Amino acid sequence: MAVISLKHVSLRRQGKTLLKDLNWQVKKGERWAILGLNGSGKSTLLKMIMAEYFPSEGEIAVLGSRFGKGDITEIRTKIGVVGSFISERLSGGMLAEKIVLTGKYKSSILYKAYSEEELEEARQMLCSLGGDHLIGRIYASLSQGEKQLLLIARSLMEDPEVIILDEATTGLDLFAREKLLAQVDRIADLPHAPTVLYVTHHAEEITDKMEHILLLRKGKIVAQGRKEDIITPEVLENFYQNPVSIIPIDDKRFFIKPEVN
C-alpha cells in the first residue's frame, strides 16, 4: 500500500519552478532517507506532503487522500513532524514528559486536563526511545540532542502513520548526533512503527534502518530506490556532479568524500 504517491508532480511559485516532474511512491512501513544539498527542494517536498503546497501539475496522494479530490484536512493529524520550528513554540519550564504529552493534542501547551495514565504513556514513549533519564527534568535544562529526542517522542504520541524528521541533527556535536541517530533507529522497533522520512544533506547520517534513499537535486529526483542500489560510485557521482569516494564508517554506514584535484 502506498502511503505517499507522486505522479509527474511539479510546483511553480512566483514564476519559479521549485519541483519538476517528480514520480515517487512510499509504501507503508518503509524508511526513506531524503538526501539533497542546500536548496535542492527537500523542504518544499515536505510541505507538499503536509498539504501546505498543492502541485501546479501532476497528482499527489497522501494516506489515501488525493489532493484536489476530497477532504485532506486530516492528513496533518496523521503525520508526526520533528523540526526546529516546533522547538521554538515549547515552554522551557515544562517537564520533559509533559512536553512529550503535548504531542497527543497537536499543541505546544497542555490546554486541557490530562490523566496520570496519559502522563505515564508519555513516560513510556520516552523510555521506548532510550530517554528514560530525561523523565522529571525541565525542558530548558536539556541539551540540544536531548531536546530533539523529546520532539521525536512527542511526534509519536498520536500514533502517526508517517513521521518526518527534518534535519534532526542540526546543531548537535559528533557524540550527540550519533546518540540521536541510534535513538531514531529505535522507531523501527516500535509495535506500530510508522513510515519514516528522514531528511538530511549529510550522507553519513543514513543508518542501517533507512532502507531506501531518494536523491533530490535542484527540484528534480536524480535517483531513488533501495540503499544498496543508490550508494554506488556511478549514482553518487551523477548526483553530486563531481567525483566522490564512498568510505565505510562501519559495516552499516558510510561517508561520502569529495575528490578534489
pLDDT score of 8: 97
Residues 163, 203: Cα–Cα separation, whole Å: 19
Indicate the fold that domain 2-258 takes in CATH.
Answer: Rossmann fold (3.40.50)
| Predicted pLDDT of residue 261 | 61
What residues are paired with 248 via a beta bridge? Answer: 254
Q: Containing H/E element for 116?
A: helix 116-128
The predicted-structure confidence for 214-257, as pLDDT tens digits, reads as follows 999 999 999 999 999 999 999 999 999 999 999 888 777 888 88
Which residues are CB-neighbours of 222 under 8 A, at least 6 positions away? 215, 216, 235, 238, 239
For 113-131, the pLDDT digits (tens) are: 778 899 999 999 999 998 9
Confidence of residue 188 (pLDDT cuts 50, 70, 90): confident
How confident is the model over 56-75, as pLDDT tens digits? 999 999 998 888 776 677 78
Question: pLDDT tens digit string along 25-62?
Answer: 999 999 999 999 988 999 999 989 988 888 999 999 99
CA distance 108 to 14: 32
d(C-alpha 44, C-alpha 46), whole Å: 5
- In whole angstroms, what is the distance from residue 26 CA to residue 32 CA? 8
The confidence score (pLDDT) of residue 141 equals: 94
Q: Which range among 102-106, 109-113, 182-186, 254-258 shows the weakest confidence by mean pLDDT? A: 109-113
147-171 pLDDT, tens digit each: 999 999 999 988 899 999 998 888 8
Its sign, for the CA torsion 152, 155, 161, 162, is negative
CA–CA separation, 148 and 129 (whole Å): 12
The single-letter code of the amino acid at 26 is V
Cell numbers describing residue 237: 557521482
CA distances from residue 227 to 76, 204, 206, 254 in whole angstroms, order as listed: 28, 13, 9, 11
> Using CA atoms, how far apart are residues 154 and 62, in angstroms rounded to an integer?
22
